[in-house]
Amino acid sequence: MKNIFIAGGAGYIGSACTEYMLNKGYQVTVFDSLVTGHEKAVDKRATFIRGDLADREKLIEIFRNGSFDAVMHFAAFSLVGESMKDPGKYFRNNLANAINLADAAVEGKVQAFVFSSTAATFGEPREIPISETAEQLPINPYGESTLCFEKVLKWYSRIYGLKYVALRYFNAAGATENFGEDHHPESHLIPILLQVAQGKREKAMIFGDDYDTPDGTCIRDYIHILDLAQAHEKALYAPRSGHYNLGTGAGLSVKEILDTARKVTGHPIPADVVPRRPGDPPRLIACSDLAKKELGWKPEFENAGAIIQSVWNWLQKHPDGYGDR
């Protein structure tokens, strides 16, 4: 497989994966609406098509005229809070528009469809760490819309023979030398903490310190975007269609991430404790044994300090992100 179609390749994880695949010798076409992505985040070696997954006819035409071996789909909305306020937006894009892409992939007879899924499909897990067989009971429209599309892929595999892999990320983090995180508004913990260190925010907020965890704050499994990119390449050659969890298996609390960010930046990073956010489970930690066994995947960034340092390095070179908002 050499010719890869990356939907959402101008976004945070998609841009890093595009760069990774190009460095591995693949030909990459990036398709992105730039609604949340950045044109400056598209690697100049890639072919760029500006378009929207809602335009089914355009997608079908692109795949009829192209010769894509595989699809990587990153073009989903992913803000939990927003999904609770505007669920229709999430079901239209994350489900209906994603089906358009699946239809185009079938039309183009691609050999593999790799879907950027999420741990949010599990909701509040009953077991920690979370395996692929854990019960999936999403507690927000973001997780529900993503799970719905996983089910679509399962049926497309049965009916059309579309080989697919859904990679359920836990907390994506980190940066490459050239590409990093620039969301508007920013909702992820690490970049928010570093914005305080940059002087762009007065302080950070800790949403709840009364959870049933050792220090009272939520615990998450942080996974570097380069490790996610590695998993996407390996998923192209998966032995079967199915689902894989991606995380380090090591959970870190909000306070532990805050302490590490203070050490990396040398900044005190003041933070206030505020009430919990609805829909935040106390713990989300992955069991990624299946991905390691069947895909041969091995995360290389298992240290929070290294992950945060990579983001801080990127921000030193790009203090205003991509500067296009």
- Per the listing, tokens 């390095």 go with 313
169 among known catalytic residues: no
Q: Give residue 319's identity as a one-letter amino acid code.
A: P
Catalytic residue chosen out of the listed positions 90, 142, 164, 222: 142
Residue 8 CA, distance from chain mean position: 10
Which 8-state DSSP code applies to residue 123? B
Strand 252-253, strand 219-220: pairing? antiparallel
> Nearest-5° angle of CA 298, CA 221, CA 284?
125
CB 70 within 8 A of CB 127: no
**Rounded distance, CA 178 to CA 168, Å?**
25
Residue 286, CA distances (Å) to 24, 34, 175, 206, 249 in order: 27, 31, 21, 22, 5
Whole-angstrom Cα distance, residue 113 to residue 142? Answer: 20
**Residues classed as catalytic:** 142
